[in-house]
Structure 1
Amino acid sequence: MAGNRKAVALCVVVLVLAVAAAGAASAAASCNPAALSPCTSAIMLGMAPTQGCCVQLRAQQPCLCQYARDPSYSSYVTSPSAQRAVRACNVRPNC
């Protein structure tokens, strides 16, 4: 049962990020929250970030502070597991 909840939560996060990215016309072209989808397991489940996740975190580093200020994303990018992923990938947001 808990496994199903986690799977649903992961799907919801990916869907929310994809929809928000599609509707974020006012955001800078390079800031794309959906690009962080390889980090879903690290952010939602606290697993170690994959190499693909670290690549995307580095690419989205200039946007992480923007995401942290956005109520749609803040709970994801400021969560303890997200912060562990950021540290594990040696990403240093300048907020």
Structure 2
Amino acid sequence: MKASYMASCAVVVILLLAEAEVSRAVTCSPTQLSSCVSAITSSSPPSQLCCSKIKEQQPCLCQYLKNPSLKKFINTPNSRKVASTCGTPFPRC
């Protein structure tokens, strides 16, 4: 009885962890980075909102860099500086 209870608990824990991983999935949307525009286009420091959005969208940055319309905004010295200031490594795609 104890073994089956432990097995059931293990299954529940695994399912909860899998669910947590799924809920962390990011919807790639470059408009989510709109709070970073002023920091990228000028010398102003990024806001907390900008930094949180960059961290949230980090898995999407390579996808954005592959898009010619977005690459010219993302692959700039200021974008790299903003990412660095926010503690988000700039992607190597």
TM range (shorter): 0.5 to 0.7
Residue 85 of structure 1 pairs with residue 82 of structure 2: yes
The CA deviation at 1:46 is 2.8
Residue 35 of structure 1 pairs with residue 32 of structure 2: yes
Residue 70 of structure 1 pairs with residue 63 of structure 2: no
TM-score of the two chains, using structure 1 as the length reference: 0.66
After the TM superposition, list the runs of 4 or more consecutive aligned residues in structure 1 that deviate by more than 6 angstroms. none
Residue 49 of structure 1 aligns to a residue whose secondary structure is coil
Report Cα offsets for 1:26-75 as digits up to 9, x if no partner.
xxx70000000000111111311110000000000001111111101001
TM-score of the two chains, using structure 2 as the length reference: 0.67
Residue 53 of structure 1 pairs with residue 53 of structure 2: no
Report if aligned partners of 1:46, 1:82 keep a CA contact under 8 Å in 2: no
- The aligned length equals 67
Structure with greater helix share of residues: 2
CA RMSD of aligned residues (A): 1.3
Gaps in structure 1 of 5+ consecutive residues: 1-28
Which letter maps to 1:61? Q
Gaps in structure 2 of 5+ consecutive residues: 1-25
